[in-house]
Amino acid sequence: MSDKVKVAVLVSGGGTNLQALIDKEKSGELAESKIVRVIASKDTAYALQRAADAGIETSVAKTQEEVLRQLEECGAELVVLAGYMSVLAPEVIEKFRNRIINIHPSLIPKYCGKGFYGMRVHRAVIEAGEKESGATVHFVDEGVDTGKIILQETVPVMEGDSPEDLAARVLETEHRILAEGLNKVVLRYKQGGIK
Ligand code: GRF
């Protein structure tokens, strides 16, 4: 693990995005990085079980001071928000400037920002009669879903889709592009491209 970039993953929910990263790390698709810690905003997050099953160190951080302390404690070089529902404190963002990435279930800048998360996103997309939606991997800055876009992929909205149908289709894309986006950032970080 010596030269692998250390990654911490922040979670709050079921952890399917985390599971995708774990699976791709195992299959060798994430060859230059290693998840060293999964930090949950609450102890009921099933993502913690997924991490434990994969032999990854876990912890719970209920305050942003705790998030910062635990990120430093595990030596994280990059941070991935995978279904993380708390707002990161400016101190955390400053400390990890341009080294935090997030996955959002829409084509940013559409259907993002305050109040647009989870099923609310897909409901709004369908109510607006959109023919396509998608997922976006982006850097995290002080805004909500406002950081520089790393990767984006469209997903079709089908006739008669329920928000749940669309959520499931978008989630499949999230799982794929989160790993691709992390790989891109890991390689840029290794080349010294992220200061
Ligand atoms: C998903 O809706 C995803 O779009 C968003 O967080 C939700 C839960 O993801 N990023 P996960 O299954 O906990 O990874």
Question: How does pLDDT run along the chain (195 residues), one tens digit per residue?
Answer: 568 999 999 999 999 999 999 999 999 999 999 999 999 999 999 999 999 999 999 999 999 999 999 999 999 999 999 999 999 999 999 999 999 999 999 999 999 999 999 999 999 999 999 999 999 999 999 999 999 999 999 999 999 999 999 999 999 999 999 999 999 999 999 999 886
pTM score, whole prediction: 0.96
Q: How far is the CA of 109 from the centre of ligand 1 (A)?
A: 18
Q: How far is the CA of 171 from the centre of ligand 1 (A)?
A: 7
Q: How far is the CA of 194 from the centre of ligand 1 (A)?
A: 26
Residue 168: which residues within 8 A CB-CB, separation 6 or more?
none
Residue 139: which residues within 8 A CB-CB, separation 6 or more?
98, 100, 101, 102, 147, 148, 150
Q: Is the CB of 136 under 6 A from ligand 1?
A: no
- Structure-token match 């060859």, residue found: 31
> What's the pLDDT score for residue 2?
63
Q: List the catalytic residue out of 104, 122, 138, 175.
A: 104
Residue 141's closest CA among 101, 188, 179, 186? 101
What is the position in ligand 1's atom list of the atom closest to the CA of 103?
10
Q: How far is the CA of 2 from the centre of ligand 1 (A)?
A: 30
Residue 161 in 3-state DSSP? Answer: coil
Residue 182's closest CA among 36, 80, 72? 80
Tell me which residue has its CA closest to atom 9 in ligand 1: 83
Tell me which residue has its CA closest to atom 6 in ligand 1: 83
Q: Is the CB of 17 under 6 A from ligand 1?
A: yes
Whether 104 sits among the annotated catalytic residues: the reply is: yes
Q: Is the CB of 105 under 6 A from ligand 1?
A: yes
